[in-house]
Amino acid sequence: MEVLNFIIPFIVLLTVVVFIHEYGHYYFARKYGVGVTDFSIGFGKEIFGLNDKNGTRWKFCLVPLGGYVKFFGDRNVFSQTEQDELLKKYNKTDRNKLFVTKPLYQRSLIVFGGPLANFILAIVIFAFIYMFSGKDFTPAKISEVQENSPAFLSGLEVNDVIMSINNNKIRSVLEVSTHINASTKDSVEIEILRNQKELSFEIIPTEILSEDNLGNKVKRKIIGIKISPLNNEFNKQKLGPTKAIYYAVGETWFVTKTTLKFVGSMFQGKGDSSQLGGPIRIAKITGQVAQFGVIAFLSIMAYISISLGLINLFPIPLLDGGHLMFYAFEKVLGKPLSQKTQEGFFRIGLILLFSLMFFTTFNDLKDLVLF
């Protein structure tokens, strides 16, 4: 029964973010007249489905770890010669429904539509939360500075009000820890307000292994302070649509930027690769978060949606970003890459994806104390 508490929320979350991703592809495909034969949530054997008036088969399949949209004809055509051979199989009306006959910008938008839809979903979710649950705007005041801590040695004092961290304005007590841990530098720059004067401090955090609010072991950066609301009053506001969307876009951009910085730090050998997780860890966290209610569940859905959109934009063959990379080459060269070249890239992409899957699964199992 406990396993179902993790699996059911995970499947619901994954179904929504995958559906939105694939619908992004579907929307632009239909917009530009590309025929869509299949819209699938999951892989493998079909469980159930239905056909719409446009001839698209909408279906759920046995393995719910992803999805796909299949276009009319063969969209994985590698060379112009093969495209010519493909065109001979269809009459003029059907040719207009082929993905490969569309202009480069339309093919690019069809591919980019999936990740774009994921970012839009995240913005919509955040905006919904800010409108109906509210957003915290409580100023962050330091209530305690631990002796001999990085904050103590740098000169921070009790009653200092934190204004910004690494040039990111701090609007809420909830953002202090987030911005400290999001930093990929050895030090963080903290600007505070003390006796109506703005002061700046460069602080090197200490990294510790601790438990988060869900009981999971995580590495965190701390500077040795405790934060309390200014005047001991919380200020949570329900926002109107315009402000909600503004802050939702900001949150989506912050998560995207932070994720890219984290990936960059791993390539530099500074990031903690043990923090990378796969489906098992996502299922575990989703199940834990779901127990805190709808708002918490929607929040994790938004973060996962951003991650899915961002990962798919990485220039790795087999992902959307890989296809966009091929289109960039096509734009520069004036023709598609040869079949042999693309097949070589696809093999490399397959190796990279399987390596990533193996690595994240290993981290997941290690997290479950199986190694």
Catalytic residue positions, numbered: 22
Residue 93 CA to residue 73 CA, distance in Å, equals 13
Residue 49 CA to residue 268 CA, distance in Å, equals 46
CA–CA distances in Å: residue 329 to residues 28, 78, 323, 324, 333: 22, 13, 10, 9, 6
User: Residue 197, Cβ neighbours under 10 Å: how many?
Assistant: 7
Distance of CA 100 to the CA centre of its chain: 29
CA dihedral 149, 155, 160, 162 (to 10 degrees): -80
Token pair of 213 as six digits:
């609010």
**Residue 364: partners with Cβ closer than 8 Å, 6 or more residues away:** 277, 278, 279, 280, 281
Distance of CA 224 to the CA centre of its chain: 30
Please give the sequence-ordered ranges of beta strands (E in DSSP) within the chain, or none if there are none. 36-51, 57-71, 135-136, 140-145, 161-165, 168-169, 188-194, 197-203, 206-211, 217-222, 225-229, 236-237
Residue 262 CA to residue 32 CA, distance in Å, equals 36
147 and 201 Cβ atoms separated by less than 8 Å: no
Here the contacts of 279-282 (C-beta below 8 Å, separation 24 or greater) are 279/10, 279/65, 279/361, 279/364, 280/361, 280/364, 280/365, 280/367, 280/368, 281/360, 281/363, 281/364, 281/367, 282/10
Q: Which phi and psi angles does 199 have, rounded to 5°?
A: -125, 155
Residue 147 CA to residue 64 CA, distance in Å, equals 51
